[in-house]
Amino acid sequence: MSTLVMKFGGTSVGNAAAFLQVEEIISQQARDWDQVVAVVSAMSGVTDELTRGVVSAVSGDAETYHAVCNMLRERHTDIVNRLVRKADTRERLISAIDAQIDEYSSLCSSVHVLGEFTPRVMDSVVARGERLSARILAALLHQEGTRSEAVEATDLIVTDATFQNAVPIAQATRNRISARLVPLLAEGVLPVVAGFIAATQDGLTTTLGRGGSDYTAAIMGDALDADSVWIFTDVDGVMTADPRIVPDARVIPVISYTEVGELAYFGAKVLHPRTIRPVIERGIPLWVKNTFAPQTTGTRIVRNSTNTHGTVKAVTVINDLSMITVAGRGMIGVPGIAGRTFSAVARQGTSVLMISQSSSEQSICFVIPTTSAGAVVYTLEEEMASELARRDIDRIWAIDDIVIVTAIGAGMRGTPGISARIFGALGQAGINVIAIAQGSSECSISLAVDAAAAAAAVHQIHKEVIL
C-alpha cells in the first residue's frame, strides 16, 4: 500500500490557471499511488488580507475590512465561475464563499466595536482562506474524475490552546486521522485537507502559525505513515542562493534537515524547519517541488546528509539589520556583562540574530533588526548606567545598514580551509567583514557586512565557494 501526501502553497492555488495545474498534478499522482492526500494553503495573499482587515478594524477603521471582503469574495467567486462547470456545484461553492466572508465581516465588525481582539478571535478570523481553497480544489478534482472530498482540518488535528501558534497533540491527532481520514482513503476517496487550521480538544479553531500548511502536511504524513511527502511551491526546490540576487543559483538536489534549518532561519523561506520535523524524524522522504514545473526533480530533504564533505551548499542574506556594540576595558574578566546585556535585550522584546565576542572581552557585539536598534541601545544604557558612569563600559552604539551573509553546508564540519575560501572570495572583491560567527555545529558561518556590499558578498561566495 503506497501513500503520498502532497501540499500546495498559496501561489500554487493563486489563480485559475494554477488551480488547474494543481488538479492535473494530483489527478496524475492519484493514478500512480494507492492513496493520496492533498493539503492546500489559502490562495496567495489571502491570509495577509484577512489579517489586514481585522487589524484595521480593531484600530477603528471601518472601511478596510469591507474592501477586503469584496476583494476576497470576488477572487474566490471568479475562480469558481471560471473553473466549475456544473451549476449546482458552483452554487454550493459560492454559498460557502459567501458564508465564510459574511462571518468574517461580522467578526470584523464586532472587533471594530469592541476595539480589541484576542489571539483566539484572530484564529477564527484567519482560518477561512484554507477552508475555501480546499473546497474549491476538491470540487475541481471531482469534476475532472478523481473522487475527492474536502475534509475539515478541525476534525483532524488536535492542538493545545496556544492560539496563533498551536502545538499539535500527537496521539489525539493520530486517533482523529485514523477515525476520519483512513476510512475515506479506504473507500478510494482523495481527501483535500485545509492546511494551517486545527482545533483544540474542545473544538475551538486554532492555527499552526504562519506557513503552517507545511506542518499540516507533515502531520498527515506522519500519522498515515506515508511513503513520501511532497511540498509544492513556486520555485524548483531549495536553491543555492536567492535567484533574484544570483541569477545562476541552482537547485540543491539533497539537503539535510539541519542545513535546511539554517537556511530557513537565515531567511530563505522555503520551509520552516519545525514544521517538517514529524516526517524527518520518521525517516519519510520529503521533497520540495515546483507546481509550475512538476517534471523537475526538486530537492530531497533527508535526516542526515552524507557525502557532503567539504561542500558549502547555499548562501543567504538577511537585510535591514543593525550591529550593537557594548565596549569597554572594565568589562575584561567581569562575569555577568554578557548575561545582563542579553537579558536587557530580551526584556525589550528583541530577538538577536548573531553574536560575537573576542577572547579579549573588550567588547560584545550582536546583530538585531534595525527597527529595534534605538530601543535596544536605550535599554542597554539604562541597564549599564553605573558601569557607564564608572567608565567600565565606554560606549554602547549601533551601526545601521548591516546585513548578515551566511554560508551553509554540513560539509564544513571538520573540513579545514572552508572559511579561508569564504574570506578569500570576499577579499578578492574588496569586501570588508565587520563581524563573524560560527556555531560549534559548523553547519554555517555568518558574516556581518555593510549593506552596500550585500549583493557582491553573496555573488562572490556563490561564485567562488559554491559553484
Beta bridge partners of 324: 366, 398
Region from 91-99, 207-215, 384-392, 425-433 binding Mg ion, contact rule CB under 5 A = 207-215
Q: Given the complex with Mg ion, which of 223 and 235 has the nearer CB atom?
A: 235
The CA distances from residue 155 to 152, 204, 343, 346, in Å, are: 6, 11, 41, 38
The CA distance from 435 to 404, in Å, is: 9
- The verdict on 211 binding Mg ion (CB under 5 A) reads yes
What is the DSSP-derived secondary structure letter of residue 239? B
Q: How far is the CB of 9 from ligand ASP (least distance, A)?
A: 6
Is residue 207 within 8 Å of residue 167, measured between CB atoms? no
- CA 407/CA 217 separation, integer angstroms: 29
Q: Which is nearer to ligand ASP, 237 or 409 (CB)?
A: 237
Inter-residue contact 460 to 431 (CB < 8 Å): yes
Task: Pick the binder of ligand ASP from 210, 250, 282, 340 (CB under 6 A).
Answer: 210
24 by Cβ neighbours in 10 Å (0-12 / 13-18 / 19+) ranks as: middle
Task: Compute CA 273 distance to the chain's CA centroid, rounded to the nearest angstrom.
Answer: 8
Residue nearest to Mg ion (CB): 211
CA separation, residue 209 to residues 118, 167, 212, 238, 279 (Å): 15, 9, 5, 21, 18
Q: Where in 8-27 is the site for Mg ion (CB under 5 A)? A: 9
- CB-based contacts of 383: which residues, under 8 Å, 6+ apart? 340, 341, 343, 344
Q: How far is the CB of 7 from ligand ASP (least distance, A)?
A: 8
Q: Scanning residues 22 to 41, which ones bind ligand ASP (CB under 6 A)?
A: 41
Q: Name which of 206 and 213 has its Cβ closer to Mg ion.
A: 213
Q: How far is the CB of 126 from Mg ion (least distance, A)?
A: 15
Apex 96 CA angle, 94 and 97, nearest 5:
65
**Binding partner of residue 299 among Mg ion, ligand ASP, none, CB cut-off 5 to 8 Å per kind:** none
Q: Which of residues 415-434 bind ligand ASP (CB under 6 A)?
A: none
Stretch that binds ligand ASP, among 210-218, 284-292, 353-361, 362-370 (CB under 6 A): 210-218
Residue 42 in grid coordinates:
489559502
CB of 212 vs Mg ion, minimal distance in Å:
8
Number of H helices and E strands in the chain, helices first, is 15, 17
If the CB atoms of residues 207 and 446 are measured against ligand ASP, the closer one turns out to be 207
φ, ψ of residue 13 in degrees (nearest 5): -125, 35
> Hunting for cell 551601526 — which residue is that?
399
Q: Which does 47 bind (CB under 5 to 8 A by kind): Mg ion, ligand ASP, none?
A: ligand ASP
> How many residues would you count in the chain?
467
Judge whether 249 and 241 are in contact, CB under 8 Å.
yes
- The minimum distance between CB 305 and ligand ASP, in angstroms, equals 25
Contact by Cβ (8 Å): 347, 361: no
Spatial contact of 377 and 409, defined as CB atoms under 8 Å apart: no
Residues 285-314 that bind ligand ASP (CB under 6 A): none
Task: Closer to ligand ASP by CB, 68 or 466: give it.
Answer: 68
Instruction: For residue 129, state whether it binds Mg ion (rule: CB under 5 A).
Output: no
Nearer to ligand ASP, 47 or 444 (CB): 47
Q: Which is nearer to ligand ASP, 10 or 237 (CB)?
A: 10
Least CB distance from residue 248 to Mg ion, whole Å?
A: 25
How big is the site for ligand ASP, counted in residues (CB under 6 A)?
12
Give the residue, chosen from 3, 6, 10, 69, that forms a contact with ligand ASP under the rule CB under 6 A.
10
Residue 196 binding result from Mg ion, ligand ASP, none, given CB thresholds of 5 to 8 Å by partner type: ligand ASP
Any contact of residue 195 with ligand ASP (CB under 6 A)? yes
Binding mask 400-439 for Mg ion (x = CB under 5 A): ----------------------------------------
- Closest distance to Mg ion from the beta carbon of 12 (Å): 10
Binding marks (x or -) toward ligand ASP, 42..61, rule CB under 6 A?
x----x--------------
**Grid cell digits, residue 116:** 480589541
Q: Which is nearer to Mg ion, 44 or 105 (CB)?
A: 44
Q: What is the DSSP annotation of 380-423?
A: HHHHTHHHHHHTSS-EEEEEEEEEEEEEE-GGGTT-TTHHHHHH
Q: Please identify, using beta-carbon distances, which residue of 22 and 380 lies nearer to Mg ion.
A: 22
Return the H-helix or E-strand segment holding 141: helix 129-143
Residue 14 burial (CB count, 10 A) = 21
Applying CB under 5 A, which residues contact Mg ion?
9, 211
Applying CB under 6 A, which residues contact ligand ASP?
9-10, 41-42, 47, 129, 195-196, 210-213
